[in-house]
Amino acid sequence: MECHFCKKKIDGRSDKIFCDVYCKSSYHYKKSKESIPNFYKKVDSHLKLNRRLLKNYNKAGKSTIRTAELVEMGFNPNFFTHYWKNKKGDVYLFVYEFGFLRITENGKEKYVLIKWQKFMENKVSTSSN
């Protein structure tokens, strides 16, 4: 018998397929990296990227950025966790605690970026509603 990862001879039980914990872990890590990303991983990575970008461009709690600039960095507005509607009827989409609203200002598409506030709690809606 030989190890599935390093191909060294294995001593011990007849059903043993790895020589040690390192080879077992390395084998499964390599296998997961080679496999096609599943739907969950794709969504999770988009959410993480969107959150990182919104956090990076919204240091003050509220800011505005050109839509094209965020999209160039990989931002995808179709991936969000929930939304909040203000009294004016504007619907902010949120990626965890960072929200965005698409607006047109002086003929240019922009996002207004905000951070989640305590007063918004009673008016939250999930994206599955």
In terms of pLDDT, which residue wins out, 37 or 128?
37
Residue labelled with tokens 């060294």 = 8
The Cα–Cα gap between 5 and 122 comes to 53
Looking at residue 129, its pLDDT comes to 47
- 10 neighbors 16 (Cβ within 8 angstroms): yes
Q: How confident is residue 126, by pLDDT bands cut at 50, 70 and 90?
A: low
| Spatial CB neighbours of 94, under 8 Å, sequence gap ≥ 6 | 80, 81, 82, 83, 84, 100, 116
Whether residue 125 is predicted with pLDDT greater than 80 in this model: the reply is no
In this structure, the dihedral spanned by the alpha carbons of residues 57, 59, 64 and 69, taken in order and rounded to 10 degrees, is -10
The model carries a pTM of 0.68
Q: How confident is residue 127, by pLDDT bands cut at 50, 70 and 90?
A: low
Residue labelled with tokens 């990076």 = 56
Token pair for 86: 């203000």
CB atoms within 10 A of CB 100: 25
3-state secondary structure of 17: coil
**pLDDT per position as a tens digit, 8-38:** 999 888 899 999 999 999 999 998 877 777 8
Domain ranges of the chain: 1-35, 39-126
Q: How confident is residue 120, by pLDDT bands cut at 50, 70 and 90?
A: confident
